[in-house]
Structure 1
Amino acid sequence: MKLYIKNMVCSRCERAVQLELEKMHLPITAIKLGEVTLSCELTKTQKTQLSQALQQLGFRVLEDEQSKTIAQIKNAIIDLVHYQDQNIKTNLSTYLSTNLNQDYSALSKLFSDKENQTIAHYFIVQKIEKAKELLDYKELSLSEIAHKLNYSNVAHLSNQFKKITGSTPTFFKKNQKIARKSLDIL
C-alpha cells in the first residue's frame, strides 16, 4: 500500500514520518520524499490515527489522485534541485514524465490548473531557493552556483533571482535580509 504525504520534503521529514509509522507498528517497505510504501493495507481506524498523528507534525495524507500527482511533481522537483546535484542538467519534462510515468502535457495542465503556476515557474523558484542556500554557505562563487544550477551564465541566474526575490544575488549575499522559504510552503 502506498501513502502520499504532503509537506514531506527532506530527510528529517522522512525520519519524522518513519517514527510515527513505527510507533503505530506499521510495516514500512520503503520511504522517500512524499511517499511511503507499507507491506499491508491499513484499516480505517489506522488511517484515521495515522492521519491525525501526521497532521500534528505538519504533514497531510493525500487521498485524491490529483493531489497525489501534484505532490509527486513537487517532490520530484525538490529532489532534483536540492538533493541530486549532478542530475539538474536533465530535461525537466523528460525527468518528470519518466519519474511519474505520465505524459508531461497532462502533468503540466493539472499542475497549472491546481497550483496557479506552471511547473517551469515552480522549478525556477526551487532553483532560486537552492541558490539562496548556496549563497548562505559562502563556499561557492556566483559563477560556480550558476554552473551548479545549470544556468547558462551568472547574468541568467541574477535575472531570475531578481524576478523571484526582488533583489540581486550579490545584494542577498551581502545583506542576507531575504529570508529563505521553507520547501513545504513553496
Structure 2
Amino acid sequence: MKLYIKYDFNAACKKILEEQLDKTGVSYTLLGSREVEIRQNIPTAKMNQLIAGLGNYGIEIIESQKSILVQKIKDTIIEMVHLDEAQATLKASDYLSEKLEYSYGYLSNLFSELTFTSIENFIILQKTERAKHLITTTGLSVSEIAWELNYSSVAHFCTQFKGVTGLTPTAFQRIIKKRRKLLNGESDIDLISGISTENNINKNQ
C-alpha cells in the first residue's frame, strides 16, 4: 500500500521551531515563518541545544548576512509566485528590488555566488511547482495557467514546464486525470508527489 502525503511546510517548520525554542526556556517572538526575536541572552549550552535540536530536522540558524539576504530572496520569490497577485503585473526584477531595497544586479550576483544557480532558474522552479498545484487543484486550462503565472506565451510556459518535469503541461494533466480515476476521485491525496519527474535545472535550495 502506498500513501501520498500532502503537508503545509511552513506550518510544520513553525511547530518544530516553537517546540525547540520552548525547550530552551527563553522568551521569544516569531516574526513570520523564518525569523525569531529572542528577548534575552541565550547561554552557550542552551544555544548549542537549540542548534542541535533544529539540526535534527534539517533546520539551520543562519548567521552570515549574505546568507540571510539570499534566504530573503528565496522567500520573496516564493511569495511572489505563490501568494502575491501583484506579481502578474510586475517584472520579477522590479518586484525583488522593491521588496528587498537592493538593486537587482546586486541581488542576482549574490544569489549566484552563494547558490551556484541563478535567480531566474529558481523562479522557473517555483513557477513550475505553482503550475503543478494549479493543474492538480483547479480546472484551469493550460492557457489560463500560463496567464496566471505571467508568461508571455503558452509556448514559453510549456517549454519551461517540460524543461523541469520532462512532461508537457497537457501530458501532466492527463496523468493527473488517470490517477484520479484509479484512486476513485480521492481529491485530498496529493497526487503531485506520486509523479516521478526529471529535474534538469539545478535546484540548490
Normalised to the residue count of structure 2, the TM-score between the two structures is 0.74
SS at match of 2:167: coil
- Structure 1 position 66, deviation (Å): 2.2
The aligned counterpart of 1:47 is 47
User: Is the 2:166–2:197 contact (alpha carbons within 8 Å) kept by the matching residues of 1?
Assistant: no
Unmatched 5+ stretches in structure 2: 1-8, 177-194
One-letter identity of the residue aligned with 1:103: S
Kindly indicate whether residue 87 of structure 2 is the aligned counterpart of residue 88 of structure 1: yes
- After superposition, what is the alpha-carbon deviation per residue over 1:138-182, rounded to whole angstroms, capped at 9, x for unaligned? 43222222222112332221111112222201111212534599x
Structure 1's unaligned 5+ residue stretches are 1-8
SS of aligned partner of 1:146? helix
Give the secondary-structure state (helix, strand or coil) at the position aligned to 1:63.
coil
Measure the CA separation in 1 of the matches of 2:138 and 2:115: 33
> Do the aligned partners of residues 54 and 102 (structure 1) sit closer, same or farther apart at CA in structure 2, a change above 3 Å counting?
same
Q: CA deviation at 1:121?
A: 1.4
Partner of 1:143: 143
Deviation at 1:62?
1.3
Contact 1:112 1:118 (8 Å CA) reproduced? yes
Number of residue equivalences: 175
Matches of 1:53 and 1:59 in 2, distance apart?
9
Partner of 2:165: 165
Q: Secondary structure at the match of 2:31?
A: strand
**Paired residue for 1:26?**
26
Which structure is higher in strand share? 1
Alpha-carbon distance in structure 2 between the residues aligned to 1:40 and 1:131: 43
- Amino-acid identity (%): 34
1:95-133 per-position Cα deviation (integer Å, ceiling 9, x unaligned): 222333333212111111221211111111111111112
The structure having more radius of gyration, on CA atoms, is 2
Residue-by-residue CA offset, 1:28-72 (whole Å, 9 max, x unaligned):
333323322233343322221111111112211112222222111
Q: Is the 8 A contact 2:142 2:154 kept in 1?
A: yes
Please report the RMSD computed on the Cα atoms of aligned residues, expressed in angstroms.
2.5
Residues 112 and 132 (structure 1), Cα distance of their counterparts in 2 relative to 1, 3 Å cut:
same
